[in-house]
Structure 1
Amino acid sequence: MALLIITTILWAFSFSFYGEYLAGHVDSYFAVLVRVGLAALVFLPFLRTRGNSLKTVGLYMLVGAMQLGVMYMLSFRAYLYLTVSELLLFTVLTPLYITLIYDIMSKRRLRWGYAFSALLAVIGAGIIRYDQVTDHFWTGLLLVQLSNITFAIGMVGYKRLMETRPMPQHNAFAWFYLGAFLVAVIAWFLLGNAQKMPQTTLQWGILVFLGVVASGIGYFMWNYGATQVDAGTLGIMNNMHVPAGLLVNLAIWHQQPHWPT
């Protein structure tokens, strides 16, 4: 539980750091590359092949590619269309996606009530911005939901792998981050804009913090902590970053969510 709380605090600052200092200024694909590259570097000494099949290693790389690589690419693009507070609010559906995806992976009967709840939440998002709904808004909302889904796939996949193909978690995370890094490298070479590199020491410093601390250490603590608590506790903690992130964004940057009047 303590690991989940510490990680929540780290991530509460991460959303605003990226949204206020990097979004729109630094190429999002380069930001993903640096962030997951530094995280992979932290765990590189723990990379082990002995005793693990190629399939097992590939699966851990796949969940890392989904939970971090693809997720970051989608969420970082969403910052171009939404405010930090809106992006935070629209991540509340993640626990619903986690439940549905866990049912699918476990071959259980789908609980359609959760899917209906997700639909209501999307409608609610539109109501929040009913007087200023634009194509940009819907694009941002779609990107966040796709980001939520890829995060959920990776998180559930990691938990399932630890149950069916266990390995020491520090070794697992070395492969996890390597998978995310490979996705980021490909995306940067195909889609990156070399004209929008970090220009200031502050921007580079934030990237280092996001890579080493928020991602490298943060995701390890989160996924490790997720294996130590029950599903109910995990579901509650999974959304604690929303009020925490909103509080940080309001207290330090004085940004408030847009509510209809």
Structure 2
Amino acid sequence: MGLLWLITALWAFSFSLIGAYLAGQVDAYLAVASRMALALLVFLPFWRPLPWRQALVLMATGAVEIGVMYLFLYHSYRYLSVPELLLFTIFTPLYVSLFADLFNRRWPRHFWAPALLAVAGAGVIRWTELSSDYWHGFALIQAANACFAFGQVWYRHQSQASPLSHRARFAWFFLGALLVTLLAAWLLGDWQKPPQTTLQWGVLLWLGIVASGLGYLGWSFGSTKVNAQQLAVMNNMLIPAGIVVNVTIWGGHADWGRLALGSLLMAAALYLCRRQG
């Protein structure tokens, strides 16, 4: 659980960095493909040949969880502000619970209580007035949430029977993510809007090497050490963390009463997870 908290703190910077320095300035397809290429470079030294079926499964996991997810996420910045985007991520725990149940061929309804409580807590923190484009943005974020949730649960499911080290898996994982994002950039990207400034390249280096490369390795490893409901709730802990970062560094505003109440609800969700896990 401690590792998931550490990665949550690391990722708390990502939404504001993308919104402030990349969204609308750098083509979304090129930004995502660059990020995946940088993350893959981190793990290339650990690459190992695998049976083709195992390699394809790992590549497909990365393609869905990271590649397709980021394509949806970056496009949502066209229609949503950062607060709206954070608001719409509150449903990720429900997707995690759903896919965990499906993978385990079960339907234990009481396990949904922590996920619903986490959604309620995040909603209290992040509910805000919505812009006229929010339905389009909402659909994009839900697609991103579903991809991310599915990939997390699928990775956990694979890890139960695989002796392969996590860092060796991630070479194949990010190869799958890179291939799908490169294809999207080639077919749909605006090559007239590449990263141009030192700051933009610096943000991409941070997002690619640290947030994506090291971050997803830590998150995926941590996800195998907790139960599915703890993982579901931890997906929403990014919201209070992101708000604190936005307020302290980017001068944003927060309703501290709502932040405290929402955080208490999510803490209660984690307590339920411990009892049920």
TM-score (norm 2): 0.83
Instruction: Give 1:166 shift.
Output: 4.1
Query: Which position in structure 1 is the counterpart of 2:154?
Result: 157
The 8 Å contact of residues 86 and 257 in structure 1, kept in 2 or not, is answered as: no
Q: Provide Cα deviations, 1:204-227, integer angstroms capped at 9, x if missing partner.
A: 000000000000000001111111
Gaps of 5+ in 1: none
Instruction: Give 1:45 shift.
Output: 1.1
Q: Does 1:27 align with 2:24?
A: no
Structural RMSD (CA): 2.5
Partner AA of 1:86 in structure 2: E
More displaced 10-residue stretch of structure 1: 161-170 or 52-61: 161-170
The 8 Å contact of residues 22 and 203 in structure 1, kept in 2 or not, is answered as: yes
1:73-152 matches, cutoff 5 A: 73-109=71-107, 111=109, 114=112, 128=127, 132-134=130-132, 136-152=133-149
Query: Which position in structure 2 is the counterpart of 1:226?
Result: 223
The 8 Å contact of residues 98 and 153 in structure 1, kept in 2 or not, is answered as: yes
1:170-185 matches, cutoff 5 A: 170-185=167-182
Structure 2 vs 1, CA of residues 53 and 229 (structure 1 numbering), >3 Å: closer, same or farther?
same
Q: Does 1:168 align with 2:165?
A: yes
Q: Provide Cα deviations, 1:33-82, integer angstroms capped at 9, x if missing partner.
A: 01111001100111111xx3211111011010011000000001111111
Q: Distance in 2 between matches of 1:8 and 1:220?
A: 13
Aligned length in residues:
250
The 8 Å contact of residues 101 and 156 in structure 1, kept in 2 or not, is answered as: yes
* SS of the residue 2:26 aligns to: coil
Partner AA of 1:65 in structure 2: A
The 8 Å contact of residues 85 and 256 in structure 1, kept in 2 or not, is answered as: no
* SS of the residue 2:215 aligns to: helix
Q: Distance in 2 between matches of 1:137 and 1:113?
A: 30
More displaced 10-residue stretch of structure 1: 2-11 or 40-49: 2-11
Query: Which position in structure 1 is the counterpart of 2:187?
Result: 190
More displaced 10-residue stretch of structure 1: 243-252 or 68-77: 243-252
Q: Distance in 1 between matches of 2:232 and 2:111?
A: 16
Query: Which position in structure 1 is the counterpart of 2:270?
Result: none
The 8 Å contact of residues 7 and 222 in structure 1, kept in 2 or not, is answered as: yes
Q: Distance in 1 between matches of 2:178 and 2:239?
A: 26
* SS of the residue 1:255 aligns to: coil
Gaps of 5+ in 2: 256-277
Q: Distance in 2 between matches of 1:113 and 1:229?
A: 14
* SS of the residue 2:73 aligns to: helix
Q: Does 1:206 align with 2:203?
A: yes
Instruction: Give 1:141 shift.
Output: 1.0
Structure 2 vs 1, CA of residues 64 and 104 (structure 1 numbering), >3 Å: closer, same or farther?
same
Query: Which position in structure 2 is the counterpart of 1:253?
Result: 250
Query: Which position in structure 2 is the counterpart of 1:44?
Result: 44
The 8 Å contact of residues 46 and 171 in structure 1, kept in 2 or not, is answered as: yes
